[in-house]
Amino acid sequence: MTIETKSKLNEALAWEALADVMDPEIPVISVVDLGIINSISVAEGVASVSITPTYMACVAAEIMRRDISTALRKSGFRSEQVTIRHSPSWTSDRMTLEGRSKLQAYGIAPPSDRANRDTLPECPQCESSSTNLLSPFGSSACKALYKCDACGEAFERFKCK
């Protein structure tokens, strides 16, 4: 590797690589959009990434850790260290605006702001605000189940945490 190539192995490149690492269960949203990346630092071609999974029992966490390692390798980093930190716990406010709109387009209502945590979501199908909560627990640890009174469809929402 030339010195010039080596100097491109920086934080910006790492962030770029991680923007293509998708949530295994919600394939439209990346680990960057989710806001699970605490920090990235690069030294001598070695990338150190700290992440906080969304939920303690998130079964996707280990997959995401592996995928992050793979993505960093593919970008040319000599080696990588991905560490998991549980506190402070992830909050849904860490999700990016882009992430929220990608979720909506995919059919999953994005989380509310923590300040307004009990507000009802708009239906991702028909955009009606006549929705109600069926269960605080959905098909995965991070989602809750709602129903739209207007179009009758059930839908999930990423939970506010």
What residues line the site for other proteins (CB under 8 A)?
52, 55-59, 62, 85-89, 134-139, 141, 145, 161
Residue placing its CB nearer to other proteins in the complex, 79 or 89? 89
Q: How many CB atoms lie within 10 A of CB 6?
A: 13
Contacts 24+ apart (CB under 8 A), 17-22: 17/71, 17/72, 17/74, 17/75, 18/49, 18/68, 18/71, 18/72, 20/71, 21/64, 21/67, 21/68, 21/71, 22/67
Please state, as a whole number, how many other Cβ atoms lie within 10 Å of the Cβ of residue 54.
25
Question: Taking the complex as a whole, how short is the minimal distance between the CB of residue 2 and other proteins, in angstroms?
Answer: 37
Nearer to other proteins by C-beta: 86 or 115?
86
Q: Find the shortest distance in angstroms from Cβ 56 to other proteins.
A: 5
Nearer to other proteins, 13 or 120 (CB): 120
Identity of the residue, 13 or 84, whose beta carbon is nearer to other proteins in the bound complex: 84
Of 19, 45, 28, which Cα lies nearest the Cα of 36?
A: 19
Q: Closest approach of Cβ 90 to other proteins, in Å?
A: 8
Closest approach, Cβ 140 to other proteins, in A, equals: 8
Which residue's structure tokens are 């239906």?
123
Q: Which is nearer to other proteins, 19 or 141 (CB)?
A: 141
Residue 67's nearest CA partner among 51, 86, 43, 85 is 51
Residue 96 Cβ vs other proteins, minimum distance, rounded to whole Å: 20
